[in-house]
Amino acid sequence: MAQIGFIGLGRMGLPMLRNLVAAGHAVRAFDIAEAARVEAREAGAAIVATGQEVAGEAEYLISMVPTGRHVLEIHTGPDGTLARLPDGALLIDCSTIAVAEARALHAAGRARGIAVLDAPVSGGVMGAQAGTLTFMVGGEGADLDRARPVLQAMGRNVFHAGTAGNGQAAKVCNNLLAGISMIAVSEAYTLGQRLGLDPATMRDIVSTSTGSCHALVNYPPVPGLVPNVPSSREYRNGFAADLMLKDLRLAEQAALETRSSLPLGTLATALYGLFCGGGSGDLDYSAVIRMIEGATSPAARA
């Protein structure tokens, strides 16, 4: 049993924490939101008043917060957790943030003598609940070996992506693909339905054909095809479109830094930007199909 500190008890953090408690770990936790703290207490964690207090006794400190700005605020600087972590502790940030921000966190850890892993996840809220997340980890292999039993309580696949920041590099590439393919799948389902094709029949056919992909088969944007995915519960409590937009912007930032070109990524960023700007950013990103459906005029359908 390990002493684990956990900061960020949102859609992902709370179910991850539940799995740590279920595996027998002692968890101290903090979130700025009162409702999240109440749920974490009910889940069996000890709640403390600040992030620094979480760090005070941690062997492992995990953070799962929205952006790199939050991560650097929480961990670095005079009031950051790095100033409070005991010697020998391991800091594991599971948030999705820029590669450059993750490398800044590793550098701050090195300056304090604290090992850091960037360990973003894939698998969404359902994967967090089921304990089947995929972790993509950047940092020293020996530190990952130390983290493995803790990560395995929350996930099924733990990959070493390479050196500091490489976990985030894998994550940004994954989400670039996920964001683009959800738009492509939305176009195909919308066109199919307007051609008179039943979406369930289309899913069956395409899932064994060359157009098959995760968004089409396992996470379809059309409600009712797969139980429990966000589209089947009015696009609630999934991977917020706002967060997908954030991740696509991280991909664009990474492309600028590496002189890469992302023509489809740039278009996808613009489309999610329009969708979120219209006030739907809190819905799961698969709700982008609503905008795709609206983009074809009734006259064009007739």
DSSP track, 113-154: T-EEEE--EESHHHHHHHT-EEEEEES-HHHHHHHHHHHHTT
Position among 5, 51, 155, 192 found at the interface with ligand NAD (CB under 6 A) = 51
Beta carbon nearer to ligand NAD, 32 or 213? 32
Inter-residue contact 239 to 128 (CB < 8 Å)? no
Dihedral of the CA atoms 277, 280, 283, 287 (nearest 10)?
-90
Q: Rule CB under 6 A: say whether 219 interacts with ligand NAD.
A: no
131 is an interface residue for ligand NAD by CB under 6 A: no
Q: How close are the terminal C-alpha atoms of the chain, in Å?
A: 64
Q: Is 5 helix (H, G, I), strand (E, B) or coil?
A: strand
Q: Which of 4, 5, 6, 8 binds ligand NAD (CB under 6 A)?
A: 8
Active-site residue, from 84, 146, 160, 171 = 171
Among 12, 72, 137, 183, binds ligand NAD (CB under 6 A): 12
Does position 262 bind ligand NAD by CB under 6 A? no
Residue that has been written with the tokens 């493995």 in this structure: 148
**Do residues 169 and 135 touch, judged by C-beta distance below 8 A?**
no
Torsion of CA 299, 181, 271, 256, to 10 degrees: -150
**13 vs 199, beta carbon nearer ligand NAD:** 13
Q: Is 249 in the site for ligand NAD (CB under 6 A)?
A: no
Tell me the C-alpha distance between 240 and 135, whole Å: 19
Where in 133-192 is the site for ligand NAD (CB under 6 A)?
A: none
In the list 4, 5, 9, 76, the residue contacting ligand NAD (rule: CB under 6 A) is 9
Residue 33 binds to ligand NAD (criterion: CB under 6 A): yes
Q: How far is the CB of 123 from ligand NAD (least distance, A)?
A: 7
Binding site for ligand NAD (CB under 6 A): 7-13, 30-33, 36, 51, 64-66, 70, 73-74, 95-96, 121, 124-125, 239, 243
Residues annotated as part of the active site: 171
